[in-house]
Amino acid sequence: INSRVESLIQEKDFKKYQMGWIQDIHESTLRLSKLNHALLLLSKIDNGQFNEQETIGIGKLLVSKLVEFEEIFNLKDLRVEYHKSGDMILAMNQTLADILITNLINNAIKHNFNGGKINVTVSTDHFTIENTGDPLQVDPQILFQRFKKQNQASSSLGLGLAIVKKICELYHLQINYSFGGEFHSITIETAPTPVKA
């Protein structure tokens, strides 16, 4: 469907309203494609299809992702600060580590103001991504459920944080949301080691 719609977009004989219809179809098929990709990813995680693990330095990965997103930060005039007091080293699948960080940064951009701030901090046992934005109008716990989002009318699929939570569960990481002052904070931390009696 996408390829045929893209071919139609190249045509010049459409009326303005017809071109609007084609654009709507194109956006809908792209959204369906993203939805399919996200649901397949969740299914693959559930079925244990990401067995390969390597040692991941979360601090290094965060820096590379912040560089990747630099153009989007500039477009939204977002001020980004990065602080590192140590590196969080995890044994995990590289693809899932990449998706985890990407989804969290995307979330911090999407729910931010133009001219807002993003703070990223990392230490040996946790990392936090904070962003300015409107206060939540929903229970924070539902944000990690599939198809749940603050604004149901938004174009978001409502799967980004559900994927993040699923990855955290896979690697026994704890995920916490909080809102204080002007910042929404999502912290990922290693689960405490049980104390032996």
Q: Which residues of 71-94 are buried (b: 16+ CB within 10 A; e: fewer)?
A: eebeeeebebeeebeebbebebbe
- Give the pLDDT of residue 127: 97
- In whole angstroms, give the CA distance from residue 33 to residue 19: 21
116 touches 132 (CB < 8 A): yes
The 10s digit of each residue's pLDDT in 38-59 is 777 778 887 788 889 999 999 9
Residues in CB range of 123: below 8 A, 6 or more apart: 84, 85, 86, 88
Q: Which of left, alpha, beta for 73 (phi over 0: left; psi -120 to 50: alpha)?
A: alpha
Q: List pLDDT tens digits, range 141-187.
A: 666 665 555 554 444 556 888 889 999 999 999 999 998 878 999 99
Instruction: Look up the pTM and report it.
Output: 0.77
Higher pLDDT, residue 82 or 9: 82
Mean per-residue pLDDT for 135-141? 69
pLDDT surpassing 90 at residue 90: yes
Residues 6+ apart with CB under 8 A from 106: 160
* Closest by Cα among 73, 153, 57 to 105: 73
Determine the number of helices (DSSP H) and then strands (DSSP E) in the chain: 6, 7
Cβ-proximal residues to 14 (8 Å cutoff; 6+ apart), any chain? 8, 22
